[in-house]
Structure 1
Amino acid sequence: MPEFVRVMRVEELPLGEVRMAEADRTKVALCNYDGTIHALSNFCPHLTGNLGEGTLEEDLLVCPEHGWRFKVTTGRCVTIRGQSAHTFPVEIRDGWIFVGV
């Protein structure tokens, strides 16, 4: 059972944006896609690029290092088959984003 850790206010993550946050020493990339918050590992499996500095293209989180693309809903890499970014459960409580680690 994951422990949910408060990481930031919802208004700090505008629609269509990506931010890096820490949840109990675990770095995550938070994405606001279509009004739903998703959390993925901050580190791209390809040369550990910082996904929290990436961009959203529709439902894909794009790594700023070499452009690998990950589905925000599943973490599945659509650039290189068999690669993925770990996803974390997210809850919204009283205007705060909580990530389960």
Structure 2
Amino acid sequence: MGNKIRIADLTAVPEGQAAEFVAEDRIIALFHVDGTYYAMDGVCPHAGGPLGEGTLTGNVVTCPWHGWQFDVTTGQHCLNERLCHPTYPVSVEEDGIYIELPES
């Protein structure tokens, strides 16, 4: 089991939007899709672009730097089936949105 960390208020990421947060020493991209929150590593593996600042269309985020696209529900790259970006479990509680990071 990992470290459960409160990452945001319940109103921090409106439906259909993305935002960037820092948890421990990691940049996390948090997405709100169809009433569900998803979290993934916020640094694009291509050139370090900020995925939390990307464009979210449905469940696909497009990196603002070079256009790499990922399914935020799975972390799967949209064109390269061998590339899957790290995602993190999300839970919503009365006092906020939490993610679970692996133990360091």
Coarse TM-score class (shorter-chain normalised): over 0.9
Gap runs ≥5 in structure 2: none
Q: Where does structure 1 differ by over 6 angstroms across 4 or more consecutive aligned residues?
A: none
Gap runs ≥5 in structure 1: none
1:98 and 1:23 map into 2 onto residues whose CA distance is 10
Provide the identity percentage.
Answer: 35
Once the two structures are TM-superposed, the CA of residue 79 in structure 1 deviates from its matched residue by 2.8
> What's the counterpart of residue 75 of structure 1?
75
Cα deviations across residues 28-72 of structure 1 (Å, max 9, x unaligned)?
100001110000100111111110111111110111111111011
Q: What's the C-alpha RMSD, in Å, of the aligned pairs?
A: 1.1
> What's the counterpart of residue 60 of structure 1?
60
Mapping of 1:1-101 within 5 angstroms?
Answer: 1-101=1-101
- Number of positions where the alignment pairs a residue of Structure 1 with one of Structure 2: 101
8 A Cα contact 1:20 1:52, kept in partner: yes
1:89 and 1:74 map into 2 onto residues whose CA distance is 11
Does the residue aligned with 2:77 lie in a helix, a strand or coil? coil
